[in-house]
Chain A
């Protein structure tokens, strides 16, 4: 299996622009997680899905952030409008067990 796939790997955008991050989980995994990693706050869970349904989005920082999972093999995390403080590495993870065991390589987002 190719593992969790994320795209793009790097994204540089200007403040106010819309950013869409994409994730393909490992086939057969019914849990998908979005994490954010920053130097100041470490790794934080933003949202997770079970069987394509959002279960807990309490970690989503504000309404500018939204996530969808239209099917079992694809999820997006959207930031609109983006702000410099959103700069971070965003990880997608999937698992069959309900715990984030398999992480993707991450998307490094820089908002200028």
Chain B
């Protein structure tokens, strides 16, 4: 079955510390991977996406993610977290070669940032 797993429901990180949010997927087709961020009361904002090429992708707001095909993972990282990064983060997967295919979203990870 196609699925996206974000194992951590809630993570708290100190401001200035590094961050890694985990994402594992199960998908039959060649995956097209996304990370989104959602602030309270807001829509989802695309942080970054991967579909081919360099497995380390850079996104907005200083985020990056690494695609590891052997581990079926697409973990999101940031070297130094800012208080404004507190939000909910969603990993999603779609089929690379099928436009319009529904994205499958993980349940999300809520990030809290402590001072």
Residues of A bordering B, CB below 8 Å: 4, 31, 42-43, 45, 48, 50, 55-56, 59, 91, 93, 97-106
Contact = CB atoms under 8 A, between A and B. Distances in A.
Interface of B: 32, 34, 36, 41-46, 49, 90, 94, 98-103, 105-108
Given A91-B43, A105-B42, A106-B43, A31 B105 contact: no
Contacts of B103: 45, 99-100
A91 to B, nearest CB: 6
Contact of B99 (A42, A99, A105): A99
Contacts of B36: 103
A110 B49 CA distance: 33
B99 A56 contact: no
Complex A-B, nearest 7 residue pairs according to Cβ-Cβ distance, in ascending order:
A98-B99, A45-B102, A103-B43, A43-B105, A103-B44, A98-B100, A105-B43
Contacts of B100: 31, 48, 50, 55-56, 98-99
Contacts of A93: 44
A97 B102 CA distance: 12
A48 B46 CA distance: 19
Nearest to B36: A103
Contacts of A100: 103
B99 to A, nearest CB: 3
B110 to A, nearest CB: 12
Nearest to A100: B103
Contacts of A4: 43
Contact of A31 (B49, B99, B106): B99
A7 B98 CA distance: 30
